A and B are shown apart, each in its own frame.
Chain A
Amino acid sequence: MSTISRRRPPSPDRRLDQTTSVACGRRPCDLAGTGHPGLDELLGGGFARGQLSEIVGPCSSTRTGVLATVLAAATGRGEVVALIDPGDQFMPTASAASGLDLSRLLWVRGDGGGQPRDVSPSIARALTALELVIDTDEFGVAVLDLSHLSARQMRQVPVTAWSGLFRRLAGGQTSGLLLGPEPTARSAEGQVVLLRTPANAGAGDVRPPGAGARPVLDSVWEARVVPHRSSDAFTTFRGPRADA
């Protein structure tokens, strides 16, 4: 008596786990260009769509400038973008000067007002707002700006919050971006751009042997891209200010 298997054959594009998927082999349409040639080259074409990437660095490391360039490039392509800004730090005037089409920007502002001791409600609201934005799948880039928080406060965000974002982003056209002081989300496929000021360059800079620095243009700000969590090889690059 033959046994009829009811199990469906596995789909060729089935992903077993986020951590096993590899960022290689992406098509150009799966990438959101940053608008900065050097950064695009580092990232292999841009930030991945359907993934959560991070732009991290200390204060004055041009995080906001890089972000403005990314958003301006997206609106230049005709996309709409969203910025969840619980710290209310976004400056429309400066961003408009860098080419951002403000009419295509959805800006969700937080209360601002300094750094309260308990930031949990503010972060929870911001995460909920980001989830609502991602669920529409109408935005090319959705940014959560947590750069006003300290690294300690960022670590208080439960890991499940980030994994929830991964699931919502997966398969969509939205490229999720997180701004913060240090890598936090631990996204498997999203890329992490580490920024720092030139004054700190050299101090504690760990370079793997053989992976020499590839100077881009100027030494105003530095970026280092960690393309994949499982990759140990990383390279330090120097580039011009994105908002210059």
Chain B
Amino acid sequence: MFACLYAPSRGLAFRSNDGVPRAKLVTNELVRLAREQSPRVEVHGDNLVVLDATGITDRVGNSRELGATLRRVAADRRLYLRIAVAPTRSAALLIVQARSGLTVVEPGQEAAVLASLPLDVLRTLARRQARGVTGQARRRAPVAGAGLAIPAFALLSTVRRWGVRTLGDLAHQSSATLLERLGPGGLALQRFARGEDDPSWTVASADQRVESTLRLETPVEGLDPLSFVLSRLFETLCERLAQTSAGASVVQVQLKLVTGEIHATRVTLATPTRESKALRTLVRLELDLNPPRAGVREVTVVVDPAPTGGRQISLLARARPDAARVTTLMSRLSRLVGERRCGSPALVASGDGAGFAMRAFAPGPPHAEVPERRTGG
């Protein structure tokens, strides 16, 4: 269960008496309010906050009770808020863009509630997030949960030309058609319109972020020496992650160049890991594709932590593939043959019965075990 708190931007462009932007004050107030209910809070830009209440319903009550509590506390603090409580984060984020007051969505009803919303809410949300991320980065303040597939929203204009006007129209499009015409981004867009969360999303609390910066005495030229610097940073970060039994779900590397520019790289992992070697390799592969244009003077690595799943240890079941190795392999293969040319095929409904879509390779636990191999004749 997720609750989204949004303060409409009336008057937020002004500054308070002590010179602090009012938007920042309101965002801090929203974070404070959300943390009173749940420790897992995400800031999605200025005046937009999501709290994850999964697993703590015995404390915060059901969705209606949580919504009523949030509305009452906000009124006590003289905050005019839009509040949406929904089973998924996507649904909460979208509904709060379009509905004023308090909206509570019961489990299983998110697609029906979203169906009537105009397509513009997707664009509005993407712009708000992009603006929020940029603003926060400028102030060097942590931003959590900026993991929405914003590039996919560039496809909205194409979808609009097809005559799609509401989220319901988009949700009812054929997945095979969207994949064929728009690629994986089309499917991501449709999943969002249906109110389904991306399984790779993880809640990253702002105050739990792990960050490390290394200022170099001599600017580093080339990726090989930079890899050594990254190794050192990742080893330190992974030790800190291990203390909290967490792994990295998102890694952001900011390279301050001698020209004064900031070269940013972001890697999202399918499964959280704290293996420094794997993380360094993934970042190195990204930097191979987009190398910095000048010497590097300062390296900053920011890691969004997420709980790591324990390794499956069973005498009877086969061990699952190592997540770090698989992630590294997929990154290398994507670089070799292209991101859309490797993955797992998944059957989708189509007219000729031969439709399939490429999905990310993420093998789960085996469904059933069969007896051991044959011994031969």
Known contacts A28-B373, A31-B376, A46-B376: A102-B344 contact under CB 8 Å: yes
B199 part of interface (Cβ distance < 8 Å): no
Residues of A within 8 A of B374 (CB): 28, 31, 33, 40, 45-46
Question: Of residues 21 to 45 in A, which have CB atoms within 8 Å of B's CB atoms?
Answer: 28-29, 31-33, 40-41, 43-45
Q: Is the CB of A103 within 8 A of B375?
A: no
How many interface residues does chain A have, given as a range? 35 or more
Contacts of B217 in A (CB 8 A): none
Residue-wise interface mask of B (321-343) relative to A, using a CB-CB cutoff of 8 A (1 in contact, 0 not):
11001101100110011000111
A96 to B317, CA, bound (A): 23
Closest to A100 in B: B345
Which of B321, B345, B347, B354 is the one whose CB lies under 8 Å from A138?
Answer: B321
Question: Are the C-beta atoms of B333 and A129 separated by less than 8 Å?
Answer: yes
Contact A136 B347 (CB under 8 A): no
B315 to A: closest C-beta gap in Å: 13
Tell whether A182 is near chain B: CB-to-CB under 8 Å.
no
Interface residues of A in 119-166 (CB under 8 A from B): 125, 128-129, 132-133, 136, 138-139
Binds A, one of B28-36, B149-157, B358-366: B358-366
Considering the complex, which residues of chain A in the window 88-123 have a beta carbon less than 8 Å from any beta carbon of chain B? 90-93, 96, 101-110
User: Chain A's nearest CB lies how many Å from the CB of B82?
Assistant: 39
A28 to B355, CA, bound (A): 38
Interface contact B321-A31, CB-CB below 8 Å: no
Contact B373 A32 (CB under 8 A): yes
A104 touches B363 (CB 8 A): yes
Q: Give the chain A neighbours of B375 by CB distance below 8 A.
A: 28, 45
Q: Would you call B377 an interface residue if the criterion is a C-beta within 8 Å of the partner chain's C-beta atoms?
A: yes
Residues in A neighbouring B332, C-beta threshold 8 A: 132
Partner of B336, one of A41, A46, A125: A125
Q: Is B369 an interface residue (CB 8 A)?
A: yes
Tell me, yes or no, whether A229 is within 8 Å of chain B by CB: no
| Partner among A103, A129, A132 whose Cβ is within 8 Å of the Cβ of B364 | A103
Interface of B is mostly: loop
Q: Contact between B376 and A28 (Cβ–Cβ < 8 Å)?
A: yes
Out of B328, B341, B345, name the residue touching A105 (CB < 8 Å).
Answer: B345
A107 near B343 with CB under 8 A, answer yes
Residues of A near B363 (CB, < 8 A) are: 80, 103-104
Instruction: Find out whether the CB atom of B347 lies under 8 angstroms from the CB atom of A109.
Output: no
A96 to chain B, nearest CB (A): 6
Knowing A31-B376, A96-B347, A106-B342 are in contact, say whether A101-B367 is a contact too (CB < 8 A): yes
- Asked if A243 is at the interface of the complex by the 8 Å CB criterion, the answer is no
Report which of A46, A103, A110, A129 forms a contact with B346, defined as CB distance below 8 A.
Answer: A103
Closest to B375 in A: A28
**Contact A92-B345, Cβ < 8 Å, known A78-B318, A138-B321:** yes
B372 touches A136 (CB 8 A): no
Q: Is the CB of A108 within 8 A of B347?
A: no
- Asked if residues B336 and A109 are in contact (CB atoms below 8 Å), the reply is no
* A232 CB to nearest B CB, Å: 21
A101-B367, A107-B344 are known contacts. Are A133 and B373 too (CB-CB below 8 A)? no
A77 within 8 A of B: yes
- Minimal beta-carbon separation of A111 from chain B (angstroms): 8
* B356 & A93 in contact (Cβ 8 Å cutoff): yes
What is the number of residues of chain B that contact chain A, defined by CB distance less than 8 Å? 39
Does residue B11 face the partner (Cβ distance < 8 Å to A)? no
CB atoms of B369 and A136 under 8 A apart:
no
- Bound-state Cα–Cα, A137 to B329, Å: 11
Q: How far is the CA of A23 from the CA of B347 in the complex (A)?
A: 39
Max chain A C-beta neighbours (<10 A), residue from B321, B362, B368:
B321
Query: Does B353 lie at the interface of the complex (its beta carbon under 8 Å from any beta carbon of A)?
Result: yes
Residue in B closest to A27 when the chains form the complex, CB atoms? B375
The answer to whether B341 touches A31, judged by C-beta atoms less than 8 angstroms apart, is no
* B219-245 interface bits toward A, Cβ cutoff 8 Å, 1 = contact, 0 = none: 000000000000000000000000000
Distance in angstroms between the alpha carbons of A102 and B344 in the assembled complex? 6
- The complex places the Cα of A106 from the Cα of B375 at a distance, in Å, of 27
- Chain B residue numbers with a CB within 8 Å of A171 are none
Q: Name the one of A80, A93, A108 contacting B337, with C-beta atoms under 8 angstroms.
A: A108
* Cβ contact within 8 Å between B372 and A28: yes
Docked CA distance A59–B370 (Å):
33
In the complex, the answer to whether A77 meets B373 with C-beta atoms within 8 Å is yes
B208 → chain A closest CB, angstroms: 30
- A76 interface residue, CB < 8 Å from B? yes
Q: Is the CB of B341 within 8 A of A110?
A: yes
Bound Cα distance from A29 to B366, whole angstroms? 18
Judge whether B337 and A102 touch: CB under 8 Å: no
A138 near B373 (CB under 8 angstroms)? no
- 5 more CB-based (< 8 A) A-B contacts, given A31-B374, A40-B374, A106-B343: A45-B376, A78-B317, A92-B345, A102-B346, A109-B342
Q: CB within 8 Å of B: which residues of A?
A: 28-29, 31-33, 40-41, 43-46, 75-80, 90-93, 96, 101-110, 125, 128-129, 132-133, 136, 138-139
Q: Top 9 A-B pairs ranked by shortest CB distance?
A: A45-B376, A78-B366, A78-B318, A92-B345, A138-B321, A44-B376, A92-B356, A109-B341, A108-B342
25 A-B pairs with CB atoms under 8 Å apart are A28-B372, A28-B373, A29-B372, A31-B376, A33-B373, A33-B374, A45-B373, A45-B374, A78-B317, A78-B318, A92-B347, A93-B353, A102-B347, A103-B364, A104-B366, A107-B345, A108-B342, A110-B337, A128-B336, A129-B342, A132-B332, A136-B325, A138-B325, A138-B326, A139-B321
